């Protein structure tokens, strides 16, 4: 049996990082050698997340120690905090998948939507980690930026229409885990149950990813909604194309695009997020009305929308089978 590749997960106490730790831990070709946390350092991972069964104690982040222990790292810090950690690990030669927004956008876009960039010199080498769009670049990359969960679903619903779309309305429905582990008024059970609400109606940062990936010619309206579920995300995309496509024409484009994709299922009826829960799959459905193409994509926001896709990226970067550890 081949040596397993040592991997660290930085920021393993949050929902995305915790799942990433579990996925690396159970991965046949990877060896989870270290997990770190900021406020939860010192705690065993499986006390916080018993069902993930990761028996390591979370450490403070020390890039030198991580460099001794690991050849690759999955960084699951919030944006802004992520960039310096990524830079420190890249300096020490580790391959990195970063789950934050810090390396998803070109500098101009990033600084417009977020803040001054903490490690702008690395932006050039970062690859946007959506394998369905950038597989070959990811294979060659040392730094991959994991796409946002909303963007992942929206792009998988939209990419086959990229050349023809002129106008897109993206209406996202996301589960509460997407809001992160922090206990807030919004994530309180009593607020979130029996409720749906739109948020960030005046512009969501994830729309910047869509603009960048779809190219300049398409007008994008993007609104996210919080729905009472734990994990799961649905992107409903209402697309004007030039020329207008019939249902069959639209479907043919999707069939071509996704014929060989290991994690995208083109299905014959509207997707249910429950059908992709705790899996790295994306279920996509496309149809058309007299006016528009309608495309829907369902993912688990923590899996294909975050940690699962990060491991898919890691597999590509490390020359492993793309689906390994994810099925």
Decide: 295 and 161 in contact? Cβ < 8 Å.
yes
Out of 96, 144, 149, 317, pick the active-site residue: 149
149 is catalytic: yes
Q: Angle, nearest 10°, between helix axes 15-26 and 308-317?
A: 50
Minimal distance in Å, beta carbon 136 to its own copies? Answer: 28
Please identify, using beta-carbon distances, which residue of 69 and 236 lies nearer to its own copies: 236
Minimal distance in Å, beta carbon 133 to its own copies? Answer: 24
Q: Angle, nearest 10°, between helix axes 131-140 and 149-158?
A: 110
Please identify, using beta-carbon distances, which residue of 113 and 285 lies nearer to its own copies: 285
Please identify, using beta-carbon distances, which residue of 121 and 268 lies nearer to its own copies: 268
Binding site for its own copies (CB under 8 A): 15, 50-51, 167, 169, 171, 173, 175-177, 181, 183-185, 187-199, 201-203, 219, 221, 223, 225, 227-232, 234, 236, 238, 265, 267, 270-279, 283, 285, 287, 289, 291-292, 294, 296, 298
Q: Take residue 120 and report the two structure tokens written for it.
A: 């702008």
Please identify, using beta-carbon distances, which residue of 133 and 169 lies nearer to its own copies: 169
| String of DSSP letters for 248-260 | HHHHHHHHHHHTT
Decide: 307 and 9 in contact? Cβ < 8 Å.
no
Decide: 41 and 62 in contact? Cβ < 8 Å.
no
Q: 237 forms bridges with which residues in the sheet?
A: 170, 295
Decide: 266 and 297 in contact? Cβ < 8 Å.
no
184 Cβ neighbours under 8 A, 6+ residues apart: none
Q: Take residue 132 and report the two structure tokens written for it.
A: 């369905």
Please identify, using beta-carbon distances, which residue of 51 and 140 lies nearer to its own copies: 51
Active-site positions?
149
């Amino acid at each position: 049996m081949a040596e397993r590749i040592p991997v660290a997960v930085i920021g393993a106490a949050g929902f995305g990082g915790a799942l990433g730790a579990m996925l690396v831990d159970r991965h046949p070709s990877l060896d989870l050698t270290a997990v770190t946390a900021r406020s939860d350092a010192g705690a065993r991972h499986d006390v916080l997340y018993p069902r993930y069964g990761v028996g390591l104690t979370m450490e403070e982040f020390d890039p030198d120690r991580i460099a001794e222990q690991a050849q690759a790292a999955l960084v699951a810090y919030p944006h802004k905090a992520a960039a310096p950690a990524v830079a420190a690990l890249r300096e020490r030669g580790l391959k990195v998948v970063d789950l934050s927004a810090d390396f998803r956008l070109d500098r101009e876009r990033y600084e417009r939507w977020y803040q001054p960039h903490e490690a702008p010199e690395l932006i050039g080498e970062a690859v946007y980690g959506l394998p369905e769009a950038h597989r070959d670049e990811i294979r060659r990359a040392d730094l991959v930026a994991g796409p946002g969960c909303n963007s992942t679903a929206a792009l998988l619903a939209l990419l086959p229409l990229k050349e023809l779309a002129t106008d897109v309305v993206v209406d996202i429905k996301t589960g509460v885990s997407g809001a992160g582990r922090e206990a807030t008024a919004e994530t309180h059970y009593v607020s979130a149950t029996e409720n749906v609400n739109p948020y960030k109606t005046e512009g969501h940062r994830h729309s910047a990813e869509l603009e960048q990936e779809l190219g300049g010619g398409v007008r994008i309206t993007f609104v996210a909604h919080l729905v009472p579920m734990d994990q799961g995300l649905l992107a409903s995309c209402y697309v004007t194309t030039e020329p207008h496509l019939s249902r069959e024409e639209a479907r043919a484009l999707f069939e071509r695009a996704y014929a060989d994709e290991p994690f995208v299922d083109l299905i014959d009826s509207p997707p249910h997020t429950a059908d992709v829960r705790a899996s790295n799959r994306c279920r996509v459905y496309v149809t058309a009305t007299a006016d528009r193409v309608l495309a829907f994509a369902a993912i688990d926001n923590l899996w294909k929308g975050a940690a699962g896709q990060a491991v898919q990226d890691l597999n590509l970067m490390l020359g492993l089978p793309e689906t390994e550890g994810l099925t």
